[in-house]
Structure 1
């Protein structure tokens, strides 16, 4: 079995990456890790900063926040930090509503009468519409940089129960509807490191590991339950794991191993 990085992410997985040292956002179906970009943008500010610690010491606590007044003072290089702080405020969330396709949403400028990007959440990469000292050389916009894309955002999540018939243990996971059985195995791996010693089945049928749950004939019936006023979790499909009688531990530290 070859170990792979996740291809699909759930909103809950993105939501936990919500701080300056670990900042993810979802945009137009893509999950982007903006941690390095955010740190680079915050370093553009050259103003003297004030500390949020109530008691001023020679050291700061882990929860210390540095406040900067450079934007209020009108420094042109503060625009990058203003956008960075807005991105940080939306860390772990979806920001697709900021954009129309791959560009910012626009509006008609009240002075020059042209269609202008609507930068309510901070400046973009375009030049100012009117003469301004904030002009800077054009650079590649962060939302078109493929280097910060780490995966795809799922369109729908679904619960699945995985039952180990040997030990009788059961684990319920929230998985992406687009994920294959193999990718679901990667989610289940922390719960059972001997996964190679089991065969996965559903209703006594073998599963195709390169196909999704729906393609394997495992429907998501939650909408039908809602139509008849039943709880969504009244029934969760169960995948059964049958032991193959050879205890082959699956070493996670190796890049791959043979089936």
Structure 2
């Protein structure tokens, strides 16, 4: 059965807790909430014998650098590299106190693509100046699962797959380009400026906007009077990103953000 992507809110840096909503002999529903404010981070349904490692906990697969940067502590550690976003919180907690965690924690919430070779997807290497052997290149300091440059009796490689190759830590894709848009609620005359990923569809942007208006699905979204196709991106709907042009012209981008107008549909729904 497909994962339900609809119940999703903005990034919450607080720890998550899982709560079983419904359970039968064959089908399970699990909701993940932030521990502090109880915000819903995702709903997952799966059949009996499937493992939790296959669960998807966010509806949006794209993340902005700002969202990643919000997860920058030992108890909530995310990093991005080579275009992917990884949640290393479990790794940090399982290896708490290990000195090899220091480089990872020092870069929590940041992009560490410069640690890895884009072709091999592995840690960069260099020729060791003393031994002449090819060893991992870690000028920031050796980090977890990277072998030492010399033979050592206290080094164990029984951890299995290195964390940077472990797909279960991957939570999504880092957006290649972000942009800001202005969303105007014509019913209440409220407006919000939000940062979105250029790769996201209007439906995914709608889920982001639900932080400000949980009833956003009951609105018709328009741009200069034209209904937007919610299955397409902003660019595909003819809403061009003029941020670079504004920069060249030395104009304030937020003064010229594309306005998206929301018109309320009285559909009598609660959500």
- TM-score, normalised to structure 1's length? 0.77
1:20 and 2:24 aligned: no
Q: What is the distance in 2 between the residues matched to 1:196 and 1:19?
A: 34
Match of 1:86 in 2: 103
**How many Å apart are 1:129 and its aligned residue?**
4.5
Superposition misfits of 4+ residues, deviation over 6 angstroms = none
Contact 2:142/2:148 (<8 A) preserved: no
Contact 1:196/1:249 (<8 A) preserved: no
Q: What is the distance in 2 between the residues matched to 1:31 and 1:187?
A: 18
Q: What is the distance in 1 between the residues matched to 2:146 and 2:176?
A: 31
Match of 1:10 in 2: 64
Q: Cα–Cα, structure 1 residues 117 and 249, in superposed 2: closer, same or farther, change >3 Å?
A: same
1:135 aligned to which of 155, 164, 175: 155
1:111 and 2:130 aligned: yes
Match of 2:17 in 1: none
- Cα deviation digits, residues 224-250 of structure 1 (max 9, x gap): 122222222230001111122233221
Contact 1:222/1:233 (<8 A) preserved: no
Q: What is the distance in 1 between the residues matched to 2:266 and 2:146?
A: 63
The higher-RCO structure (CA 8 Å, 6+ apart) is: 1
Contact 1:195/1:249 (<8 A) preserved: no
Q: What is the distance in 1 between the residues matched to 2:63 and 2:270?
A: 27
- Cα deviation digits, residues 180-213 of structure 1 (max 9, x gap): 1001001111211222321111111111111111
2:211 aligned to which of 186, 190, 198: 190
Matched pairs, number: 213
Unaligned 5+ runs, structure 2: 9-57
Contact 2:186/2:262 (<8 A) preserved: yes
Q: What is the distance in 1 between the residues matched to 2:68 and 2:154?
A: 33
Q: What is the distance in 1 between the residues matched to 2:217 and 2:261?
A: 14
**Secondary structure of the structure 2 residue equivalent to 1:191:** coil
Q: Cα–Cα, structure 1 residues 142 and 245, in superposed 2: closer, same or farther, change >3 Å?
A: same
Q: Cα–Cα, structure 1 residues 217 and 106, in superposed 2: closer, same or farther, change >3 Å?
A: same
1:209 and 2:226 aligned: no
Q: Cα–Cα, structure 1 residues 82 and 12, in superposed 2: closer, same or farther, change >3 Å?
A: same
Match of 2:18 in 1: none
Q: What is the distance in 2 between the residues matched to 1:244 and 1:126?
A: 56
More deviation, 28-37/190-199: 190-199
- Per residue, is there more strand in 1 or in 2? 2
1:96 and 2:105 aligned: no
**Secondary structure of the structure 1 residue equivalent to 2:157:** coil
- TM-score, normalised to structure 2's length? 0.73
- Cα deviation digits, residues 96-147 of structure 1 (max 9, x gap): 1111121111111122212211133214545444332233235210001111
- Cα deviation digits, residues 74-93 of structure 1 (max 9, x gap): xxxxxxx2221221111111
